[in-house]
Amino acid sequence: MGTYLFQGCYTSAAIAAMAKTPEDRTAAVRELIESLGGKLDGFWFAMGEYDFVGLATVPDMNSAVAFSIAAGAGGSIQNFKTTPLLTGAEGMAAFKKAATAKYRPPTKSAK
């Protein structure tokens, strides 16, 4: 299971519809994520660059991508972004693995 941050904006048509008939989208988002075997950890309306943000735990990357596709296919959101999140231990493991990777930056001469 992995945790993902998702962010997005509603289209102007979606905002107009919700202004006319306000709707808390938490239940709809929860239903979508649960249908993919995941759990909605939190969902918030936001002020600023994005209209909403959320956290979800899903079984795998494929489920996260399916979530993004299904959410975007509805036509009411735009600028949708899904970001995989790493625990501290996972981040440290990635740094340790990177330390053993063989990479030569383009500005360094080959030895």
Count other Cβ atoms within 10 Å, centred on residue 84. Answer: 12
What is the domain extent for residue 17? 2-87
Decide if 56 is inside a domain: yes
Domain-located, residue 81: yes
What is this structure's pTM?
0.84
Cα distance between residue 59 and residue 61, in whole Å:
7
Supply 55's token pair.
Answer: 């956290």
Domain contains 25: yes
Q: Is residue 100 part of a domain?
A: no
pLDDT digits (tens, 9 = 90+) for 22-63: 999 999 999 999 999 999 999 999 999 999 999 999 999 999
- CATH code of residue 14: 3.30.70.920
DSSP letter at 109?
A: P
Number of domains observed in the structure of the chain: 1
Confidence grade of residue 95 (pLDDT, cut at 50, 70, 90) = very high
